[in-house]
Amino acid sequence: MVTATQREITEPANIGWEQRKRKLLPYAYLSPTLILLAALTVVPILTVFLYSLVDNVIVNPNPPNFVGLENYEEVLTNRKFRGALSNTMYFAIVSVVAHFIIGLAFALLLNSRLLSANVKAIFRVIYILPWVFTASIIAILWRLLLNPHGVVNFVLLELGLVPELLEWLSDRKLALNAVTFINIWSGYPFYLVSFLAGLQGIPDDLYESGRVDGGNAWQLFLHITLPQLKPIIISLALLDFIWTIHQFTLIWMTTGGGPLRSTEVLSTYTYKAAFSSHEYSIASTIAMVILAICTFVAIFYVRSQRMTDE
């Protein structure tokens, strides 16, 4: 009797447990990811936000006071911040546009039917080469080349393109363009790789019918290639824009934001505020502004991803 009732009770419960287990299983597989992201993304972001609302943190032993949006007011009206913001935007926008143009030009070149497969394979490796190097090595490499007594100045001077030896990275008027150029050199292969994959996905029939309609090479490019690559272009550009705003190492190791803050970007500015001046509340406020900019762009990125998913 006892065992019979027990079975009656436990069996439905078992089914319930099985169902619950099935429901919980996907979360179980995700649990390492979720724990890590909660501990190292969600909590830290909330912490930064909290830091940005108080007047002193970490270094000062006095308990912090809640100051509302005062820090934001202070940061947003600060001339140094505005300088860093405009440098960041210049750096990011010029980089993205140049990456796109160079990446597409190289992809079209490597896709040319006039070249044999072996030639393409060799040149593909050379063209992707800048991508293999980490930012700190790229910084060393270009400090070597752009040194006033370096090879770039030598070549330009010999060709008569510059009147004298230029201080590419320590001249206030040149430095921002120099670091932007370095970033362009190091970042275009990401586009190249994606465009190569994209170009191979465009069916030949499209070009055939375009030619039958009498289109020349330029028209084919404008009316077939570009529209076909559009979804790739949009997500690449958005992602690259976000990554370029994140860029810290390259600028830190070439100019450190100088001379006279002429290459100061938001990330180097935040780093200095936190780890040189120990103004953690101000640094957190700038960090929140960067996060807001990136999140704004990311919304469009996530949307473009979903569009291509469905």
Partner 1 sequence: MIGSRRQILIRKILVWIALILGACFAGLPVLWMVSSSFKSNLEIFAYPPALIDYSFSFQAYQAVLSDPGQLRFFFNSYLVAILVTICTVITSILAGYSFSRYDFRFKRILNLIIIGVQSVPPITLMIPYFGLIVWLGIYNSYAALVLTYMVFTLSYAIIMMTGYFNTLPRDLDEAVMIDGGGSFVTLWRILVPISLPGIVAVGVYTFMLAWNEFLFALTLTRTNDMRTVPIGIHLLMGQHSFEWNQMLALSVLGSLPVLVLFLLFQRYFIAGMSAGSVKG
Scan residues 225-264 and list those touching partner 1 (CB under 8 A): 229, 231-232, 235-236, 239, 242, 245-246, 248-249, 252-253
Q: What tokens were used for 18? A: 């099985």
Find the part of the chain contacting partner 1 (CB under 8 A) among 70-78, 90-98, 170-178, 288-296: 288-296
If binding is defined by CB under 8 A, does position 135 make contact with partner 1? yes
Among 72, 90, 100, 123, binds partner 1 (CB under 8 A): 123
CA distances to 13, 139, 148, 179, 283 from 169, in Å: 72, 11, 9, 8, 26
Size of the site for partner 1 (CB under 8 A): 93
Contacts with partner 1 in 26-85 (CB under 8 A)?
26-27, 29-30, 32-34, 36-37, 40-41, 43-45, 47-48, 51, 58
The residue with tokens 């796109």 is 100
If binding is defined by CB under 8 A, does position 15 make contact with partner 1? no
At 261, phi and psi to the nearest 5?
60, 15
Contacts with partner 1 in 159-198 (CB under 8 A)?
185, 189, 193-194, 196-198
At 54, phi and psi to the nearest 5?
-120, 170
Find the part of the chain contacting partner 1 (CB under 8 A) among 8-16, 22-30, 76-84, 171-179: 22-30
CB-nearer residue toward partner 1: 97 or 129:
129
Give residue 239's region: left, alpha or beta (phi > 0; psi -120 to 50). Answer: alpha
Q: Is the peptide bond before 259 cis (omega within 30 degrees of 0)?
A: yes
Number of other residues whose CB lies within 10 A of the CB of residue 11? 10
CB-nearer residue toward partner 1: 6 or 219:
219
Among 19, 134, 209, 219, binds partner 1 (CB under 8 A): 134
How many residues does this entry show for the chain? 310
Q: What tokens were used for 121? A: 């394979």
Q: What is the DSSP string of 150-188?
A: SHHHHHHHHTTSSSS---TTT-TTTHHHHHHHHHHHHHH
Partners of 66 in the β-ladder: 54
If binding is defined by CB under 8 A, does position 305 make contact with partner 1? yes
If binding is defined by CB under 8 A, does position 142 make contact with partner 1? yes
The alpha-carbon radius of gyration of the chain (Å, integer) is 27
If binding is defined by CB under 8 A, does position 133 make contact with partner 1? yes
CB-nearer residue toward partner 1: 56 or 249:
249
- Least Å from the CB of residue 176 to partner 1: 19
Among 13, 15, 101, 140, binds partner 1 (CB under 8 A): 140
What is the rounded CA–CA span in Å between residue 188 and residue 294?
20
If binding is defined by CB under 8 A, does position 302 make contact with partner 1? yes
Among 9, 17, 65, 201, binds partner 1 (CB under 8 A): 201
If binding is defined by CB under 8 A, does position 114 make contact with partner 1? yes
Q: What tokens were used for 88? A: 């960041």
Among 5, 23, 159, 163, binds partner 1 (CB under 8 A): 23
What is the rounded CA–CA span in Å between residue 120 and residue 111?
8
